[in-house]
């Protein structure tokens, strides 16, 4: 049956999963989901993701939704294929890795997702960007990136000297952030950049 990712590459969450599969060197099928037509709200898709959001993922009989859960599955199920995305050797290293994974999800993603919606996606769907919201989210995101800059000034990657799932999970939103007028949020921080 093979690996299948359901979604569109405009979604950073879908790109996050594709990046993990690419780091592992795994073949997969990208199954396009027509969001404009509401395909993600149809029964067939809701059987894959009951919240009607992309991505959804299949590995044979295994069905998973939520990009970070999908990526953890890929990292564990295919641990010995491609890049080891969970390179911890001790409980302390695993705890550090898990702490930064949680930080990406809880501290970085909320403001960056809102920021990207405001700056990039609102104009795509005919809505107007609110400059005050952009400035507020930029300040909030800047505080998170300051913490990241301090961390990354001490090690090459978030959880040490090896690339991991933490770094990979940040990549789609950081690269998209670099395509906005506020790319200085990243470029002003040399270790984040």
Question: What domains can be seen in the chain, in order of their start residue?
Answer: 3-77 (3.40.30.10), 91-187 (1.20.1050.10)
Helix, strand or coil, per DSSP, at residue 95: helix
Compute the 3-state secondary structure of the chain and give helix, strand, coil in percent, each to the nearest 5: 55, 10, 35
pLDDT digits (tens, 9 = 90+) for 65-113: 999 999 999 999 999 999 999 998 899 999 999 999 999 999 999 999 9
pTM of the model: 0.92
Give every CB contact of residue 65 below 8 A, 6+ residues apart in sequence: 48, 49, 50, 51, 53, 55, 56, 57
Q: Which two tokens stand for residue 54?
A: 């992309």
Residue 150's pLDDT is what? 97
The string of pLDDT tens digits covering residues 115-158 is: 999 999 899 889 999 999 999 999 999 999 999 999 999 999 99
- Look at residue 88 in the predicted model and tell me its pLDDT: 86
Q: Which of 52, 75, 67, 55 is nearest to 109 (CA)?
A: 67
Helices (H) and strands (E) in the chain, counts: 9, 4
Residue 1 pLDDT: 62
Question: Within 10 Å of residue 147's Cβ, how many Cβ atoms?
Answer: 13
**pLDDT at position 124, please?**
87
The model's pLDDT over 16-32, given as tens digits with 9 standing for 90+, comes to 999 999 999 999 999 99
């Amino acid at each position: 049956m093979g690996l299948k990712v359901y979604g569109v590459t405009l979604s950073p969450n879908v790109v996050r999963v594709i990046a993990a599969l690419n780091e592992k060197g795994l073949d997969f099928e990208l199954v396009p989901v027509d969001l404009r037509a509401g395909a993600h709200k149809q029964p067939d898709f809701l059987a894959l993701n009951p919240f009607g959001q992309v991505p959804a993922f299949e590995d044979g009989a295994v069905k998973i939704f939520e990009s970070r859960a999908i990526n953890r599955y890929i990292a564990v199920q295919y641990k010995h294929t491609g890049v080891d995305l969970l390179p911890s050797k001790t409980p302390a290293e695993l705890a550090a890795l898990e702490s930064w994974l949680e930080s990406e999800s809880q501290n970085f993603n909320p403001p960056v997702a809102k920021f990207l919606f405001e700056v990039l996606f609102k104009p795509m769907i005919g809505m107007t960007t609110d400059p005050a919201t952009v400035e507020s989210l930029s300040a909030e995101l800047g505080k998170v990136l300051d913490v990241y800059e301090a961390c990354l000034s001490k090690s090459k990657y978030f959880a040490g000297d090896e690339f991991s799932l933490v770094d990979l999970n940040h990549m789609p939103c950081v690269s998209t952030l670099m395509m906005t007028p506020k790319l200085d949020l990243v470029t002003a921080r040399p270790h984040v950049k």
